[in-house]
Structure 1
Amino acid sequence: MNTKIVMTSSALFYGVIGILFSFLPNEIAGYLNVESNIITILFLKIMSALYLGFGILNWMAKETLIGGIYNKPIAFGNLMHFCVGAITLVKVVSNIKTHLEIVISLTLVYVIFAILFVYIFRTNPTKTKKKK
């Protein structure tokens, strides 16, 4: 499996979410009907930093071998994030009444990335021959 595609797409996903949380925290809180106070904005901005950090990590590691024993911390960090996120979102989907389309979309993205990172974590990478 070519991990470059997975790492690039996850980096872009993290980056988009991180930028949205960083620049539009008041608007996101308002859209989700969450009280927009200093603590809510603080948590959204801290989440933004986490997403942007993971995004830049994946972007910078996209050219390296990932899987098996190679770059195990990167693979495991992504695996943990997406698996825990997917489990949490699957639990929430059955109980949520508002913004169901957002939660279902996020759930699908998280489940797909969780499956991909499980595969990456469990298999050994193969080097691809570069054409000259």
Structure 2
Amino acid sequence: MNTKIIMTLAAVILGTVGIALTFMPDALLNYANMEESETALLLIQILGALYFAFAMLNWMSKGSLIGGIYNRPVAVANMTHFLIGGLALVKVLMSNPNASHLIWVTGVIYAAFAVCFGIILFRHPLAESK
């Protein structure tokens, strides 16, 4: 599995979402039909900072050897984030199949990254070159 492509894709997606959450929290709350309050705006901006930080971690690590015992904390953090987020999204989608298309797309992206990072985590990076 080409980890450089996966890390780059994850960095670009998380970075884009992080920037949007940080600089446009009011517009995103309005789009989601959520009440705009100071607390909600603050939490959305903090979430944006978290996404952007994860994007920077992935971007800076994309050229490194990842998998098995190599860069294990990066692989574990990404797999955990995408797995837990994906499970939460699946739970919402199972209870509400008529959810927004945005939720469906996000769920598919999270599930795909969870599988990819799970493979990266448990497969030795040099095993694919044999």
Q: TM-score range by the shorter chain?
A: over 0.9
1 CA distance for matches of 2:45 and 2:128?
Answer: 39
Deviation at 1:23, TM superposition (A): 1.2
Deviation at 1:127, TM superposition (A): 9.0
2 CA distance for matches of 1:58 and 1:27?
Answer: 27
1 CA distance for matches of 2:69 and 2:84?
Answer: 22
Could you say if the C-alpha distance between residues 79 and 125 of structure 1 is closer, same or farther in structure 2, counting changes exceeding 3 Å?
same
- Superposed, 1:35-54 pairs within 5 Å as 35-54=35-54
1 CA distance for matches of 2:38 and 2:72?
Answer: 37
- Paired residue for 2:11? 11
User: Is structure 2 residue 69 aligned with structure 1 residue 69?
Assistant: yes
- Paired residue for 1:117? 117
User: Is structure 2 residue 98 aligned with structure 1 residue 94?
Assistant: no
Could you say if the C-alpha distance between residues 23 and 74 of structure 1 is closer, same or farther in structure 2, counting changes exceeding 3 Å?
same
Give the conservation status (yes or no) of the 8 Å contact 2:93–2:99.
no
TM-score (norm 1): 0.92
- Paired residue for 1:2? 2
Deviation at 1:24, TM superposition (A): 0.8
Give the conservation status (yes or no) of the 8 Å contact 1:21–1:28.
yes
Give identity over the alignment, percent.
39
Unpaired runs of 5+ residues, structure 2, are: none
Could you say if the C-alpha distance between residues 74 and 95 of structure 1 is closer, same or farther in structure 2, counting changes exceeding 3 Å?
same
- Paired residue for 1:33? 33
Give the conservation status (yes or no) of the 8 Å contact 1:7–1:61.
yes
Deviation at 1:126, TM superposition (A): 2.0
1 CA distance for matches of 2:29 and 2:44?
Answer: 9
Give 1 or 2: higher helix fraction: 2
Give the conservation status (yes or no) of the 8 Å contact 1:15–1:52.
yes
Aligned residues: 129
2 CA distance for matches of 1:125 and 1:44?
Answer: 36
Is the partner of 1:94 in helix, strand or coil? helix
**RMSD, matched Cα:** 1.8
